[in-house]
Amino acid sequence: MNKIAGLILKHKRSIIIINVLLLAIGALLIPMIAVNFNLSDYLPDNAPSTESLRVMEASFSDDIPNVNVYIPDVSIPEAIGYKESLAQVSGVSSVLWLDDVADIRIPLEIQDQKTVEAWYKDGGALFVMSVDQDNATAIVEDIRGIAGPSSSLSGEAVNQASVQSTTMGEISMIMLYVIPIVIIILLLSTSSWFEPVLFLITIGVAIAINEGTNIFLGEISYVTRATSAVLQLAVSIDYAVFLLHRFAEYRDEGADLKLSMRKAIVKSSSAIAASAATTVFGFLALTLMKFKIGADLGFVLAKGVVISYISVMTLLPAMAVYTAKIMDKTRHRPLLPSFKGFGRLTVKVCIPLAIIIVLIMIPSFMAQRHNEFLYGSSGMHSEGSQVKNEADVINGIFGQSQQMVLLVPEGDIVKEIALTEELSSVDEISSVVSYAGTVGALIPSDFLDEDTRSQFYSNGYSRMVITGAIADEGDEAFALTENIRSVAQSYYGEGYYLLGQNVVNYDLKETITNDYLPVTLASVIAIGLVLVITFKSITVPLILMLVIEGAIWINLGLPYFVGDSLNYIGYQIISAVQLGATIDYGILFAQRYLENRRIYDKREAARTAVAKTAASILTPAGILTAAGLILGFISTNGIISQLGSILGRGAAISAAMVLLFLPALLIIFDGLIQKTMKGYIRKQEREDELI
């Protein structure tokens, strides 16, 4: 590493020029990258709802019903007029209303009230529409123009339109809040007013390069687009902090400029490399998810960490040497207090404190496995948003409802009638729109005009639209999905296809839940191996993994104790990301402890490690906490908001565990550590000799 450090310092001007060129290219490519807002696109190719979607798209031009429009205070003739106007909107393939399931020429009072009130209640009409989801934003806007300001809209296309219109704008707003707070935290933890500028330039260049290289992926998910930049900043800025803190220490000891930087690169390289590797493997573990949004987010973040690592180890030293005089001129007294007193107090009470923490960890481990989870778009919109409020209006009047499409083989009208009747008798199903139930078995389909026939029959399939009085997910929704599949299978074996948002969410649940164990094991094993290689022993890696896993259990157990629901996507991602992103704190602390242990006894080594690393740990932890909480506060998307909030809270818990729990474990197991760490100690001695 000493030779590499020399080469970096020798070619510092070339390094800066190359990074400026890469920054410009990345900035030009970012606007060209497509963003996918549809979570169902990330289901495995063999998921039942994915196969159903392929068959439906190949057989029918109509999309699955994905917009509900409620218009209050309308008469039956006015409702018919609205239906005709809505059907004319570009991108709308079908509009269903009461007249499709009942004869509205007959007084509604003498008809089946369950059917009538699913479409027309208290003088208000509920229309169910199929629209092109790829152009959801423009179509929803046109629908609102026709339905009027007193109308309410809900449905998957409305959710997607809201995400499209708000998420992209929120990205820049989030960064506008994050960057000033990052600067304040860096100013508190550094000894120069100019150092934060170097940090932000270094990581900013890395972010631009990472975002630009996403062009080679074709498209990325909106979750990745909204979170990758802020997470890359938050999880990798500690590499820059570690390096410049070492640089400042060696300069304070009297070494000249280039020697100080070379020593800083050599001495911090193993900690930074280990930290980057663990974070990369934590993110790469997400690529094992069958739910492909994990691969999308995991690969982009892993790529970003690698680019940040290269930027910190090359661009930052080059800029720091060039701007050393500016740093000297802008040097100020430390704004953070000395942590010597904190170190003494921590070591003094660490054993009883460790017992308390263990007593908290045990129930937290149990609780985090029993959280109430959301799997689909239910958690996409936070309380108080327009989409959530309008959905509540519709649900309050008509009850919760979901539209599903069932495709069965065409040709046996008797089976279709029997299936329609059996499905209609299910309590949770409010209506079934099918040829057999709407047109009637006595009228051959050949007598219908092509437009009408194509709504029911195409490419050898008969199409039924089922409305269930359920939410889009939850026990009742998933039970109905299983019930419909069971009934359809009893008539047609495996020859049916069922699609709907509750069906997609059911498949999401089955897919994501099965992803948890392999992803968690992969991240633990991969990060554990990096730690074993770094410390040349298994003892310290096991201790570090226990500390951070304990922090994860406490973090993810809190929602259970306070009664909050968790989006499972966020739960799955946090389990890997918090481990990869915050194990760095433990690595830094353990390395300082082992360095000190060569000089001091175990308690003094722990006290000194706390005093020397507290600022370096609290700085990145504070940044990740602030970034996560800002993401949670600003984003109106429930998935992104919850992901940010939990990650921010997790960073704070991890930092606390490293500074309060890890010292006790290192002291307790010091004898075992010393016996198993001889290879690591010899490595440190060789590094000292080289520089």
| pLDDT per position as a tens digit, 91-148 | 888 888 888 878 888 888 888 787 888 889 989 999 988 888 778 888 999 999 999 9
Q: CA-CA-CA-CA torsion for 313, 318, 319, 323, nearest 10 degrees?
A: 130
Q: What is the mean pLDDT of residues 480-493?
A: 93
Is residue 390 classed exposed, middle or buried when 0-12, 13-18 and 19+ CB atoms within 10 A define those classes? buried
| Tens-digit pLDDT profile for residues 137-188 | 889 999 999 999 999 998 888 888 887 777 767 777 787 888 888 888 888 8
Say if residue 368's pLDDT is above 50: yes
pLDDT band at 302 (very low <50, low <70, confident <90, very high): very high
From 306, 335, 188, select the one nearest 580 (Cα to Cα): 306
Report the alpha-carbon distance of residue 404 to residue 198 in Å, rounded: 55
Say if residue 690's pLDDT is above 60: no
1-32+190-335 CATH pick, 1.10.3720.10, 1.20.1640.10, 1.10.10.10, 2.30.40.10: 1.20.1640.10
| Tens-digit pLDDT profile for residues 561-615 | 988 887 777 777 777 778 877 888 888 899 889 888 888 889 999 999 999 888 8
| Tens-digit pLDDT profile for residues 525-555 | 888 888 888 888 888 889 999 999 999 999 9
* Residue 519: φ, ψ to 5°: -65, -45
* Count of alpha carbons within 13 angstroms of residue 208, beta-carbon side: 17
pLDDT band at 442 (very low <50, low <70, confident <90, very high): very low
What is the end-to-end Cα distance of the chain in Å, rounded?
10
From 33, 49, 31, select the one nearest 41 (Cα to Cα): 49
Q: CA-CA-CA-CA torsion for 484, 486, 487, 492, nearest 10 degrees?
A: 110
Q: CA-CA-CA-CA torsion for 237, 240, 246, 247, nearest 10 degrees?
A: -150
The secondary structure of residue 669, as a DSSP letter, is T
Say if residue 84's pLDDT is above 60: yes
The secondary structure of residue 378, as a DSSP letter, is G
pLDDT band at 380 (very low <50, low <70, confident <90, very high): low
Report the alpha-carbon distance of residue 268 to residue 683 in Å, rounded: 13
Say if residue 683's pLDDT is above 60: no
- Rg of the chain (C-alpha set): 30
Tell me whether strands 219-221 and 152-154 are parallel, antiparallel or unpaired: unpaired
Say if residue 301's pLDDT is above 60: yes
Report the alpha-carbon distance of residue 371 to residue 526 in Å, rounded: 26
- Computed from CA positions of residues 592, 594, 600, 605, in that sequence, does the dihedral angle turn out positive or negative? positive
Cβ atoms of residues 364 and 557 within 8 Å: yes
Report the alpha-carbon distance of residue 539 to residue 618 in Å, rounded: 25
pLDDT of residue 453: 66
**Any idea where the domains of the chain sit in the sequence?**
1-32+190-335, 39-166+385-509, 336-367+537-691
Say if residue 684's pLDDT is above 70: no
The secondary structure of residue 216, as a DSSP letter, is G
Say if residue 488's pLDDT is above 50: yes
| Tens-digit pLDDT profile for residues 623-677 | 889 888 888 888 777 777 888 888 889 989 999 999 999 999 999 998 888 887 7
pLDDT band at 447 (very low <50, low <70, confident <90, very high): very low
Give one word for 96, left, alpha or beta, with left for phi > 0 and alpha for psi -120 to 50.
Answer: beta
Please check whether the domain covering 336-367+537-691 is classified as CATH 1.20.1640.10. yes
Q: What is the mean pLDDT of residues 265-275?
A: 82
Say if residue 445's pLDDT is above 60: no
pLDDT of residue 328: 85
pLDDT band at 378 (very low <50, low <70, confident <90, very high): low
Report CA-CA distances (Å) from 18 to 21, 319, 320, 362, 603.
5, 13, 16, 51, 47
